[in-house]
Amino acid sequence: MIPAPHNVVDVATLIRKAASAYRDKIAVTWEGGTLTYAQLQGRIDALATAFARRGVQAGDRVAFALANGPAFIECYLAAVALGAIVVPLNTRFTEREFAFVLGHAEPRVVVGDETTIARIAGLEGRWRANLFADGAPVAGVPAYQTLLAEGRDGPTPRPAIDLTTPAAIIYTSGTTGSPKGVMRSQLAAVMMIVLRMAHMAIDPDTVCLATTPMFHSGGHEFMLLQTLAAGGRIVSARAFDAESIVRLVDRERVTHAFFVPTMAVHLTEAMQRLGTAWPSLELWVSAAAPLPDAVRDKIVSAVPGTELWNCYGLTEGGTLAYLRHGDIRRKAGACVGRPMTGMELRVVDPETGLDRPPNVVGEIICRSPESMSGYWRNPEKSAETIRNGWIFSGDLGYLDDEGLLVLAGRAKDMIITGGENVYAIDVESYLLGSGLVREIAVIGLEHPVWGEAVTAVVVPVTPGASDLDAALDRYARQGLARYKCPKRFVAVPELPKNSVGKVMKDVLKKNHATLYAGDSSPS
């Protein structure tokens, strides 16, 4: 591993410098109040002292299952200040998932809200940790406030930080097997902060909305840490309710926000009802899922004075590419633009690693200073994913004639029907333009004749419409090759999503696995 430059500071020091420069400025606003930079840094220092007294040292893991708010920020920055490794836990994990991740990471300390800690306390495993509950009391578990009080009367440790060691282990969703722990080094995290600050014009005047879950990489790495390092303000929202968020953005004069496309649909409708165009908002970032053209048009219409970016990234590599506002209207939703600052992108044959020519689909690979250093305790998967310094994403796409990256979906999201390759994102983007559906997920289901059948699971604009299937089929045949047209349309009230708003296609495939059983139709 390449030694870190001696003049690069660690993550906690970046925030500490901002706190020193902007002591009396509000750093965090949330449902329970506000914290100035001086108050926030005081709580971070107290927590770091308490962690150290509980035996936390460099390399130890500190896990936390917390909703958006100051406790998440405090736990993250206190742990990395000690050279410990943070492990953000998805608060929606099942007991099985908690048991796996905790057994795999073996944290020394776990902090969570009262509901989550009560569930974790009942698990049995080889890991042993000090548990602390934020919120209502949990029998036999000390309160988070106890930790804070415990650390206020002593000197805060300031150990030297090895920037090549992990700052965080971020567990992936595990839709293709057990969750994998992505290791982000201190140096990679610092580079992510610095590059984003410059790229996204984040400064002391920035007011950043944090409504996507902070425990996801996009929730804390994308804009949260950068905003604090710049001396800006975080406006934290624990839950997503469209009308509440619309009012919050106006009330707090939010300038930067990150939403997944499914949020955008509800937000633009709520903005229309409430009669606002968010005049304070400077940058709307859409990420974590493809941005359909129809949703893009709704955003542009709803916030005409705001710059819209469509971004593409992955936990292992960071943010790979972005399509800026000037190109948004002339490019389809599957286009995600040019590489972010510091990022190198290629599209290759996944078997040979050779570059694909323009407009030919291949696997997207990347490398940058912010990329992961590997998977925690999984050298085999690390070697499979990182080859000669390049991260093989498992995502499909191509570079167009302008050198812009166009997504074609996950490798596992490609449907092979009758020997033809169909990319789900292509069908989804087209059908959303029909105006007949609010949301759509295209999947491949086992078929006795075709191998896989292209199937569209849709949330209709008008529930119960009697002619929906026929209308969608007519629209599909107008603009899609016959083999790309869905063989069936399945109307549902809502699509299953994970905590960041991504559709869980594995759940849809399981729920509709027998849809074509006994179907021998050649059409």
Overall number of domains in the chain: 1
pLDDT tens digits along 501-510: 778 898 999 9
- End-to-end, the C-alpha distance of the chain in Å comes to 56
Quote the pTM value: 0.84
Domain span including residue 464? 418-511
Judge whether residue 136 has pLDDT over 90.
Answer: no
Report which of residues 127 and 418 the model is more confident about: 418
Give the pLDDT of residue 1: 44
Mind listing the pLDDT tens digit for each residue in 59-112? 999 999 999 999 999 999 999 999 999 999 988 887 878 888 999 999 999 999
- Helix (H) / strand (E) containing 217: helix 217-220
Please enumerate in sequence order all residues whose Cβ is within 8 A of that of 309, keeping only pairs 6 or more positions apart, or say none. 283, 284, 285, 286, 322, 323, 324, 325
Q: Is residue 327 part of a domain?
A: no
Q: How far is CA 10 from CA 1, 46, 79, 272, 335, in A?
A: 17, 19, 12, 44, 35
Q: pLDDT tens, 402-445? A: 999 998 877 777 788 887 778 788 889 889 989 999 999 999 99
pLDDT in tens, 301-355: 999 999 999 999 989 999 999 999 889 888 876 899 999 989 999 999 988 999 9
Look up the CATH number of the domain holding residue 430. Answer: 3.30.300.30
Find where tokens 């970032």 sit: 285
Query: How is residue 283 annotated by DSSP?
Result: E
Question: Is a pLDDT exceeding 80 seen at residue 58?
Answer: yes
**Reported confidence tier of residue 480, pLDDT bands at 50, 70, 90:** confident
- Residue 369 scores a pLDDT above 90: yes
In a domain, 234, yes or no: no
Residue 190 lies in a domain: no
Instruction: Please say whether the beta carbons of 258 and 432 come within 8 A.
Output: no
Q: Is residue 392 part of a domain?
A: no
pLDDT for 186 equals 97
Within a domain: 507: yes
> What percent of the chain has a predicted confidence (pLDDT) above 90?
67
Residue 425 placed within a domain: yes
Structural domain includes residue 470: yes
Q: Is residue 423 part of a domain?
A: yes
